[in-house]
Amino acid sequence: MAALIYAARAADCAYEVVLVSGDRPEAAGLALAEAEGIPVARLPRPAAKDKGQFFEALGKILEEADIDLIALAGFMCIIPSSFIERWNGRILNIHPSLLPRYKGLGTHEAVLQAGEASTGATVHLVSNEVDSGEILGQVEVAVLPGDDPNALAERVLIAEHQLYPQILSEYAARPFDAEWIETQVDTLARQLPEVGRKTSHGSPGWSVGGEKGKLFAIIADHHHGEEAVCLLVKSSGPDEMTGLIEAQPDIYYWPKYYGAGGWLGVKLNRRDVDWDQVGEWLERSWRACAPPRLTRLMRAADEF
């Protein structure tokens, strides 16, 4: 926790520690956070039967503080699935092994017993299965002759203190990175038939139907002063665009110059992007621009 706090003070760090809490109100880390001027939420230590109430209270505190991400740091309590689902993709943890190897407790003992030449640390997303979420970053640590669990743990901990702030910063910045956003869109777009890459006035895009095919999606990176990285897709027209923009202005907007042609802007530099919904927009736009021979095949597949 201390490593995360101090790393956040670097000018190039993408995250800010705005709250520290835990399931042990007497924990030394809370006192340190208070000394460093960080708000602390001291919750009563829950009994086994009251853990649901604890996580409900914790969730309310996190929402009131408008938290984006949760970084676990020595938090050894099993987290209920309801809490993980509520914060899906937003809880990070660090584990003292090179996952997926040596999950759970006793990792250093297990590494030494197996005669491994190296071990390490892993930052991962938290899922309902212990130490099994998406791996975000790892660092390798050599096992030295004569190592015991304590000596090995000390060196791995040094590596953890370097790795965790770096990966947390990268993950905090990722949803706002235009290159990362383009990669996600490209992965979704290429699931559709006969998709190629094309540009529109220098902006990256995707076309359907071969080299001379029509554009059906365009990435607009802060297009004409818009404070967003957006995906431009084909809508049914002005009425639909106006309705969506009025109902959800934080997601949709009318792109300059493109809007007159029925292109709708979907803001993607948000942490809460529904990528399934983005995939649906891509498919819909693809259908609007694809040649009849392809749309007939898609309709036949749908009917089948």
Active site residues: 95
List phi, psi (to 5°) of 245: -65, -40
Cα 50 to Cα 80: distance, rounded to the nearest angstrom: 12
E strand segments, 56-185: 70-71, 91-95, 118-125, 135-142
Contact 192, 279 (CB under 8 A): no
Beta strands 91-95 and 70-71, pairing class: parallel
Show the DSSP H helices in 67-148 as ranges: 81-86, 107-113
Cα–Cα dist 72/80, whole Å: 14
Angle at 54 between CA 49 and CA 59, to 5 degrees: 145
